[in-house]
Amino acid sequence: MPTYNPPLRDMQFVMHELFKVSDDLKTIPKYSDIDAATINAVLEEAGKFASEVAFPLNVSGDAEGCKLDPVTHEVKTPAGFKAAYQKYVEGGWPALSCDPAFGGQGLPLVINQCFYEMLNSANQAWTMYPGLTHGAYAALHTHGTDEQKATYLHKMTSGEWTGTMCLTEPHCGTDLGLMRTKAEPQPDGTYKITGNKIFISAGEHDMAANIIHLVLARLPDAPPGIKGVSLFIVPKFNVNKDGSLGARNGIYCGGLEHKMGIHGNATAQIVIDGAIGTLVGQPNKGMQGMFVMMNAARLGVGNQSLGLTEVAYQNALAYAKDRIQMRSLSGPKAKDKPADPIIVHPDVRKMLLTAKAYAEGGRALAIYCAVLLDKDHNHPDEKVRKDSGEMLSMLTPIVKAFLTDNGHISTNACMQVFGGHGFIKEWGMEQFVRDNRINMIYEGTNTIQSLDLLGRKILGNNGATLKKFGKLVAALVEEEGVNEKMAEFINPIAFLGDKMTKFTTELGFKGFQNPDEVGAAAVDYLRVAGHLVFGYFWARMAQVALREIAAGNTDPFYQAKLQTARFYFAKLFPETATLMLTARAGSKVLLDTDLALA
């Protein structure tokens, strides 16, 4: 059976030593009294919940799955899920980063980010039930009316009610402009919603008293395409004026998907049969509200793979230290045993270090983005808010796609460490691989994230935001350029930083002549950008470690960080050279292939 230990020490390193998060929070009045001790205390308790309550249900929840009653349309979640959710609610965890005006604790989003990393390591399928509620809460908090906020946000903050996002339809997938769900205005100001949605995570369950569905639909006079989509609140149970639950609404689960992974989460086919809904925001402007939820979900999905990368690494490392097989090529290392632990073999170490480097680099990026989100929402300086939002917008597709691709690489590598035992259920490794696989697909496939990054976020503003990140890289290069001990970390990012502008300009020029060139290069481009971002953070982590070691700190944590940084730059970062070649190869070799694909 797998095990899990919350990576509190590394979280503390990233927040307090690398980014000095408390200093940023002090510039935001509502967070000015949040110090490192407070953050550490909350996360220590959060780690206990993740490891002691959610994690023990991961394997059993995968084996049992969810069960739909075809008569009542009710879904029963795996044994223990409902009780664990009640403990989550009783502990006040849903309210952690929510607005105090609606019963929230008002803590920074960065704390919630770290908590959810641990929950995703512990049990991704279970975590999706409360996790989606945060996105629905954010959409209503931003775009809901005062009446809608008063009706729904208190209950969502407390965890009494959960939320979903209902976008996808069977015929259109990600192309939301093709959706057919209809919303007919009623005399009382409500709308009658009719249609079908698929792939709705946590779309039906027995863990909360009500489920607040945010549904995209079309008004009768809506213009075609994405510009004719509106957003509606469609609760499972209608809500009376006094806040009590009323009659069952006409929205129900018509079936559950049989999936590769996340078996403990109910991925529902939702039938909407004349359900009562209320409009969120302006007519035909539904994507504004839904994008709040979608962007939160994209950051959350990256966090899911970060969590799975961490737990897979922990288990593969423990196994590699314990499993004996063959002798080291350079001579026996465990002379008292008939064979050496497999951790002595170079390629086993390569697989372990790949997962470790991607987990720790991903954690730095995820925490950095959470701080940007806190500043974007709450900083008193309008320029800081604008700059933070702009940087976050560029980094969001990287978080979603780069972290989930890396999660795929890492969980597969960790399963490989186990050899044949990794393919067997009892060790838990194959579940991490299966559960992670969906993360590359939902909330916009990684190809769509890549098109968003290159086409909209980079070329859409002529590389302005990329240049701002490039200035961060350049400042670090300037600061450490003459430090020989930093050369192995600085030189690679300085080289790539110089090449990135020319690389981007070249792709932009080709894309202007033929848009398919952007489509052909985008996936490779995102991965290059991901390594530039990771390289910057790994260089900064190495900088902190070197300074601590130079100051006489003998904690092996810093030497370990330095060794992992060296591995990342030697074995993973050089992938960028190949990716730039393949990105430049163009669209002809892909599109001039009618005979090959006949």
> Is 210 in contact with 160 (CB distance < 8 Å)?
yes
> Is 469 in contact with 391 (CB distance < 8 Å)?
yes
As separate numbers, helices (DSSP H) first and strands (DSSP E) second, the chain gives 18, 11
Tokens of 272: 């909407």
Burial of 32 (0-12, 13-18, 19+ CB in 10 A): exposed
Burial of 539 (0-12, 13-18, 19+ CB in 10 A): buried
What beta strand segments (E) does 281-325 contain? none
The DSSP output letter for 32 is: T
Contacts 24+ apart (CB under 8 A), 5-9: 5/51, 5/314, 6/43, 6/46, 6/47, 6/48, 6/50, 6/51, 6/118, 6/121, 7/118, 7/310, 7/359, 7/363, 8/40, 8/43, 8/44, 8/47, 9/557
Q: Is 443 noted as a catalytic residue in this protein?
A: yes
Main-chain dihedrals φ then ψ at residue 52, nearest 5 degrees:
-100, -25
Sequence-distant (≥ 6) Cβ neighbours of residue 123 within 8 angstroms: 54, 55, 57, 58, 61, 264
Tokens of 405: 């691709």
Determine how many CB atoms are found less than 10 A away from the CB of residue 70: 9
Nearest CA to 287 out of 145, 388, 143, 182 is that of 143
As a whole number of Å, the CA-based R_g of the chain is 24
Pairing between β-strand 230-235 and β-strand 182-185 as defined by DSSP bridges: unpaired
Q: Of 443, 480, 517, 548, which one is the catalytic site residue?
A: 443
In whole angstroms, give the CA distance from residue 384 to residue 375.
Answer: 7
Burial of 35 (0-12, 13-18, 19+ CB in 10 A): middle
Kindly write down the DSSP assignment for every residue of 75-127, as one continuous string.
EEPPTTHHHHHHHHHHTTGGGTTS-GGGT-----HHHHHHHHHHHHHHHHHHH
Distances (CA, A) of 75 to 83, 266, 493: 15, 8, 50
- Residue 210: strand pairing partners: 161
Pairing between β-strand 182-185 and β-strand 191-201 as defined by DSSP bridges: antiparallel
Nearest CA to 195 out of 208, 212, 176, 209 is that of 176
In whole angstroms, give the CA distance from residue 353 to residue 302.
Answer: 20
Nearest CA to 379 out of 140, 18, 32, 142 is that of 32
Active site positions, annotated: 443
